[in-house]
Amino acid sequence: MSFSARMQKSHLYSVFFAPRGRDRLFDLGAQISQLYLSPFDKLIGVIGEAGSGKSAITKGMFPGLELTNDDDGVNIRPLPLLCQDDESGFFTPHTYHLDIRFEAAFTQMHVLADAILQAVSRGKRVIVEHFDLIYPYLHMNAHLIIGVGEEIIVTRPNLFGPLPNEIFNIVSKSLKYRQMAHSAEDLCEFCMGAELLNRCKHDDVKHGFILAFQDEKPDIDLDKLEKDVLELISKDLTISYVDEGHITIGDTIHPCTGPRTHVSSTGKIEHFKVIKQIFFDSFSNRYLVACTVGDEVPVDIHMLNDMKL
């Protein structure tokens, strides 16, 4: 048995930071596919709230797959999964995709469940977004579940769990931190000068984010940055999607690579803090500014990624 097969056989769950940008989600999806997806996995469940990045992770895991809930509004009709008996021959699809929350508006749940089970029994692969909603009608768990919230949970369930609703309860509660962090991250960019903005890269920390600067220490007043961001938060400016590369903060258009993962207004960002120290990472030769949201921030900065948060 290969190392990969042994890893999958003994795998319970893995946790990744859920990145905000679309391209970073694509990359992480590809990484998850390489590490955890088996050719024998026929039922893949993707779980999370709307706007969490489920479709982006799916696209990264399965490049070229046509999603039936395409974000551009071009939805595939009729749903291919419901037309299996009309398809025959060499060109029959091997992989089907469906979004249960979307499809439930058009088709009864038991019909969708029967179609999923039929495809799996025929050796097809089915990727199901909002898998927790269809699970009670299937009476079988997914071979692989990906939960998307503040973090991405990858788990291979067995007879003893975890159940889809357990994963949903975790990721649905944590998503707000990712949305707040992403919006606060863009507000920090909004308050920076052009030189700092052009140098700034992004990284992750639990209940927050990292602003990273390569090689040269940034000339940045951390007290002023926090004050300026808190002022924007106090104004409760609307944050709106414009397109896949931009949002609006109030009336101003701002570039953003993850425009769907935000709170609806700046006033919904809770307890924003800038940690008043610029850290140096000798491994990557980067200077790091850490910012947090929420009220569960440890005093010891080395505990920011505490598993219990």
d(CA 189, CA 255): 10
Sequence-ordered alpha helix ranges (H) in the chain: 3-10, 22-36, 54-61, 100-103, 109-121, 131-138, 164-191, 194-199, 222-234
Whether 1 shows a pLDDT value over 50: the answer reads no
Coil vs helix vs strand at 6: helix
**Intervals of CATH 3.40.50 along the chain:** 3-162
Q: Tell me the per-residue pLDDT of 165-224, one tens digit each, with 9 for 90 and over.
A: 999 999 999 999 999 999 999 999 999 888 888 899 988 888 899 999 999 999 999 999
- For range 106-127, the mean pLDDT: 94
Cβ proximity of 256 and 270 under 8 Å:
no
**Intervals of CATH 3.30.980.10 along the chain:** 176-303
CATH architecture entry for 176-303:
2-Layer Sandwich (3.30)
Whether 262 shows a pLDDT value over 80: the answer reads yes
| Cα–Cα separations (whole angstroms), residue 34 to 28, 61, 168 | 10, 8, 24
- In which band, very low, low, confident or very high, does the pLDDT at 238 lie, cut at 50, 70 and 90? very high
Q: Tell me the per-residue pLDDT of 20-47, one tens digit each, with 9 for 90 and over.
A: 788 889 999 999 999 999 999 999 999 9
Identify the CATH assignment for 3-162 out of 1.25.40, 3.40.50, 3.30.420, 3.10.450.
3.40.50
Radius of gyration of the chain (CA): 21
- Beta-carbon contacts of 256 under 8 Å, excluding residues fewer than 6 positions away, are 186, 245, 246, 247, 262
